[in-house]
Amino acid sequence: MTKIEGKAWVFGDNVDTDQIIPAERLVSVNLGRLNDFIFEKVRPGVAQQIEKGDVLVAGKNFGCGSSREHAPLSLIQAGFSCVVAESFARIFYRNSMNIGLLLIECKADVKEGDVLSVDTSDGRIVDRSAGKEFKFQGHPPFIARLIESGGLVNLVKEGKF
Amino acid sequence: MGKTIAEKILSEKSGTDAKAGQIVVADIDYVMVNDVTGPIAFREYGKLGAGSMFKDRMVLIPDHYVPNKDVASAEQAKEMRVFAKEHGIANYYEVGKGGVCHQMMIEEGFAAPGRLIVGADSHTCTYGGINAFSTGIGSTEAAVAFATGRLWFKVPETIKVELTGKFRKNVGGKDLIIKIITDIGVDGANYKVLEFHGEGVSGMTVADRLAVSNMAIEAGGKAGIFPCDRLTEAYVKDTVKGKYAPVSADSDAVYCSVLRYDLSKIESMVAFPHLPSNGHAVKDTNVKIDQAYLGSCTNGRIEDMRIAAGIVKGRKVCPDVRFLVVPASQRVYRQMLDEGLMQVFLDAGAFISGPTCGACLGGYMGILASGEKAVSSTNRNFIGRMGDKDSEVYLAGPEVVAASAIAGRIVVPDELEG
């Protein structure tokens, strides 16, 4: 179970993987620094302002589009502790769970810069800046196991797959 | 209680009584990676420290940045080549013998009715057009599939799509799928399968079905699956590897919703920036273009080339337009030569390249400058998808792309003079 505290970065609906990281950045030499390029076409400069532990908050269908694992990987590298969205696109969801990026399905009406604390043990997001609270459902058992192991590679190595 | 096609295939491959909502671990028939997703999969495979590798089920197809775009992409393509050689993977398709991965998976007979195929590319859902359950995955799971030959799946709910009637002239699969996505939204089928039914299916070419299945993901779909019929059998018979077993849905299968379309009422469609769900009837639009792009895993097949050549023949590309024609494979390229289509496009003033994903994903070979607009037979029109963040992509079928290349604005073929 995880407790997180971080600043909110707020995005809208249908944030696609090309927005998260453009295709032209998807080459092996960039694999260690994908975070440099996140959101460069839609919110230039944002990549450099994210601090470790920050929380990405979005609307519906976050991560739609490509199967590029570079998308969740770039968000991990940028320092995001988790992504909170009203819903996630399927492949992005799988990729994130498989590589250890925590996703939380929740409609959280927060403002950019608000300080959020997220507690997965009781399924609560508290917006400390606005004094608001949002509830979310826990993950199904298989996914919870995946998250606890830190991703699919670990799960396989532990002989649990 | 009966089963959908997805439930049947996942039951068979997992050895369980799979029902929508469950999570199963299933044996996969093939796992495909490309030059963008492969290198991460190779690294993750290394981390697994697995003693096993299901080599016969692995297919490695460089297509996104080959022929090499620059030094970085050359290094990346080399990683894949070296991995294939070191591990003795036979199913590797070098430049000159390959093409766009999804076209290759079909042409080379990996995709076939009833099979469970995963690919580290979101448009892996294309093979639903020939009755496979195929879906896009990430690189890490591809690595796990290399090592174990299996993968976890959440058994999806299915939306039944009932098709009646026949397409009118110059209307096809691309128009249908843009219409469907416009109706249900870019997440309208998220985590779900679109399963196609009805007498309308038998009047659709297999190429049309593949274009529809290809874009199931643009509605969030896990797969878009057609039944197997005589046209499907004829399409795969010369190239399919091994045996296959078509799967049909039970008559009492349970669906989460039903959509109905009369194909004779579908109009020529164009999806405006920046989502595939921004569909409009072409006749209601007036958009001047700088580029027309015919190609990709959606509409880069020989059938698309024939349609476009039929419209372009005897006409000239508008002086203000670059018309790029990109066959989806070497085989399509050769067929175009054999059938005299190259001549038609060249005479019209089109640029023809060898197969590559190229500009479809904003890679290279046709990138858009700021403010430029392209009509494209590809599948995504996200912000900056084909180039600068201030460029625009309008998605359409091969008929509209070809006609627009001539007219200089987005039109249906009927609007062309002469």
Q: State the pLDDT at residue B271.
A: 98
A28, A73, A153 ranked by CB distance to B48: nearest: A153
User: Closest to A41 (Cβ–Cβ): which among B75, B143, B383?
Assistant: B383
> Rounded CA gap, B74 and A27, in Å?
9
A61 neighbourhood in chain B, CB within 8 Å: 186-187, 190, 220
Task: For residue B137, give the nearest of A16, A28, A67 by CB distance.
Answer: A67
Question: For residue A138, which phi and psi values (nearest 5 degrees)?
Answer: -70, 170
Choose among B287, B284, B292, B286: nearest CA to B406.
B292
Domain residue ranges of chain B, discontinuous segments joined by + = 5-261, 269-415
Measured distance CA(A76)–CA(B85) in Å, rounded: 32
**Over the stretch B209-227, which tens digit does the pLDDT of each residue have?**
999 999 999 999 999 999 9
Q: Which residues of B touch A19 (CB under 8 A)?
A: 382-384
Give the containing element (helix H, strand E) for B295: strand B291-295
SS (H, E, C) B142-175: HHHHHHHCEEEEECCCEEEEEEECCCCCCCCHHH
Contact residues, B window 121-180, toward A, CB-based 8 Å cutoff: 121-122, 124, 136-141, 143-144, 147-148, 152
Task: Please write the tens of the pLDDT for every residue from B101-110.
Answer: 999 999 999 9
> Domain B5-261 has what CATH class?
alpha beta
Instruction: Give pLDDT, residue B174.
Output: 98
Query: Residue A159 has what pLDDT?
Result: 86
| One fold for B5-261 and B269-415 | yes
- The per-residue pLDDT for range B276-318, each reduced to its tens digit, is 999 999 999 999 999 999 999 999 999 999 999 999 999 999 9
- Considering only CB atoms, B144 lies closest to which of A23, A65, A152, namely A152
- Residue reference for tokens 């799979």: B18
The one-letter code for the residue type at B115 is: R
Mean pLDDT across the stretch B62-90?
97
Contact list in A for residue B36 (CB cut-off 8 A) is: 23, 26-27, 68
Q: What is the pLDDT along chain A (161 residues), one digit of tens a residue?
A: 688 999 999 999 999 999 999 999 999 999 999 999 999 999 999 999 999 999 999 999 999 999 999 999 999 999 999 999 999 999 999 999 999 999 999 999 999 999 999 999 999 999 999 999 999 998 988 888 998 899 999 999 998 87
How far is the alpha carbon of B337 from chain A, nearest alpha carbon, in Å? 31
Percentage of chain B modeled with pLDDT above 70: 100
Note the pLDDT of residue B1.
Answer: 85
The pLDDT tens digits for B248-286 are 999 999 999 999 999 999 999 999 999 999 999 999 999
Q: Where are the beta strands (DSSP E) in B44-141?
A: 58-61, 116-119, 133-136
Query: With an 8 Å Cβ cutoff, are B75 and A27 in contact?
Result: yes
Q: Please give the pLDDT value at position A161.
A: 79
CATH code for the domain in which residue A98 is found: 3.20.19.10
Pick the CATH number of B269-415 from 3.40.50.10490, 3.10.450.50, 3.30.499.10, 1.20.1740.10: 3.30.499.10
By the 10 Å C-beta count (0-12 exposed, 13-18 middle, 19+ buried), B129 is classed as buried
Predicted confidence (pLDDT) per residue in B378-412, tens digit? 999 999 999 999 999 999 999 999 999 999 999 99
B167 Cα distance to chain centroid: 20
For residue B418, pLDDT beyond 70: no
Q: What is the mean pLDDT of chain B?
A: 97
Q: Which two tokens stand for residue B42?
A: 């190779």
Domain residues for the domain of A103 are 3-157
Task: Confirm or reject contact between B74 and chain A (CB < 8 A).
Answer: no
How many domains in chain A? 1
Question: For residues B322 and B345, is the Cβ–Cβ distance under 8 A?
Answer: no
Apex CA B194: angle with CA B190 and CA B198, to 5°?
160
Cα distance between residue B256 and residue B242, in whole Å: 34
Inform me whether the pLDDT recorded for B145 exceeds 90: yes
Q: What interhelical angle do B206-214 and B302-312 show, nearest 10?
A: 110
Chain B residues within an 8 Å CB radius of A30: 72
Q: What pLDDT, on a 0 to 100 scale, did the predictor assign at position A73?
A: 97
Say which of A64, A73, A152 has its CB closest to residue B220: A64
Residues of A in contact with B122 (CB under 8 A): 65-67, 91
CB-CB under 8 Å, A16 with B382: yes
State what percent of residues in chain B have pLDDT above 90: 99
Give the pair of three-digit tokens for residue B311. 């419209």
In angstroms, the CA B21 to CA B119 distance is 22
Residue B151 has pLDDT above 80, yes or no: yes
